[in-house]
Amino acid sequence: MHLGLRCILLTERMILYMAEKKYMSGCQLRQYLHISTRKMKYLMDHNYIPHENTGHATHKYRVLKEDAEKFKFRMENEIGFLAELNGMFSNRTEWHPRPLIEVTEENCNAFRQWLENEWAELPDALPTQTAAGLVGHNPQSIHKLIKENVLHGIKIGAVQYIPKTEFISFMASPKKLATLRTEKYKELIKAFKYKQRREHENEQRRCKRRIKKEKTLIKKKVLTQEQIAEKLDYLRKQRDGLIVGDYRNYLYKLYMYLKERCSETKDGSCNPYPWQMLVALGRDDLHKSYLGCTYCDDLEALGYIKMQGYGKDKKIFIIKNIDF
């Protein structure tokens, strides 16, 4: 018999034998798992999958179908499974873009909660046509999931319904997030990521404001009686023209402005914006808003005003009449 024909017959017999004994060859396993030959060989050589080495050049490996199914289930559902092999079997050297979303348990839970809020007004039972439209799927794919018992469905008349909570859980599952196929679904991910990023930025701003507030409270100006007397003497000399400068005039104008604003409220307090104080002082460098706060700190240190709170809750009170 011709050698080529004998090889073909031997291969066919091996395949039939494996089918009867519920085995898979290495080639069949590679196709079943959708992986490369190199990766399949690595998994076998490092005992990731229980297998038998036949010692033959062809059909070297034999794997029980049951073990193959268990391994595939772990690949599709277990977060981080085979993560140590990422990039090991790719021959491409071009730039690889980052995934749209990292598949982690935290992201899955956050995305599920976001979908619950986004679809809160939808009925608890979704028609398959509606559910498919939400994520850009074909209705037939939803029916397929029902047949595979991934989703539960109930038919009322000509319309089939699925539970909204179950559909949301499936769309936020690790398996689904790892395979972003439709543009509609990708848009949902992008919207979720945008909100997540905005919340993170807002939290950073709140944290910075809190730290700034704490620093402001800690660094409040405190002057001794001797320092107050020296500063008042300096301001009075500037008022009388003995010392050149506008510092005294700025403090005086600010005090009169605050006094007027406080007289307009029931509790005798005010809280103008820093730029409003600079306008009252006649300054045109409104970008230096910190100057208004600095002058207020000086008036408080000298005992003419009192400040309570911070930011929008801050209140400025007049304590005594100005005498410089």
- Give the tens place of pLDDT for each residue, 63-94: 888 888 888 888 888 777 887 777 777 665 54
Work out the average pLDDT over 140-157. Answer: 89
Number of helical H runs and strand E runs in the chain: 14, 9
- Give the tens place of pLDDT for each residue, 259-301: 999 999 888 999 988 888 888 888 887 777 788 888 888 899 8
pLDDT for residue 13 = 55
Closest CA to 193 of 285, 287, 114: 114
Indicate the fold that domain 225-318 takes in CATH: Arc Repressor Mutant, subunit A (1.10.10)
Residue 160 has pLDDT above 70, yes or no: yes
Tell me whether the CATH fold assigned to 3-85 matches the one assigned to 105-192: yes
**In the chain, where are the structural domains located?**
3-85, 105-192, 225-318
Average per-residue pLDDT in the chain? 83
Residue 17 has pLDDT above 60, yes or no: no
Q: Is the dihedral of CA 186, 187, 188, 190 positive or negative?
A: positive
Indicate the fold that domain 3-85 takes in CATH: Multidrug-efflux Transporter Regulator; Chain: A; Domain 2 (1.10.1660)
25-34, 116-125, 138-147, 209-218 — which is least confidently predicted? 209-218
pLDDT for residue 164 = 93
Find out whether 32 and 72 touch, Cβ atoms under 8 Å.
yes
pLDDT for residue 216 = 60
pLDDT for residue 220 = 66
Side by side, the strands of the sheet bearing 61-64 are: 23-25, 61-64, 52-53
Architecture of domain 105-192: Orthogonal Bundle (1.10)
Specify the higher pLDDT residue, 238 or 91.
238
9-13, 59-63, 241-245 — which is least confidently predicted? 9-13
pLDDT for residue 124 = 93
What size, in residues, is the chain? 324
- Give the tens place of pLDDT for each residue, 244-269: 888 889 999 999 999 999 999 888 99
Closest CA to 324 of 232, 254, 217: 232
| CA atoms of 18 and 304, how far apart (whole Å) | 95
Residue 163 has pLDDT above 90, yes or no: yes
Work out the average pLDDT over 133-148. Answer: 90
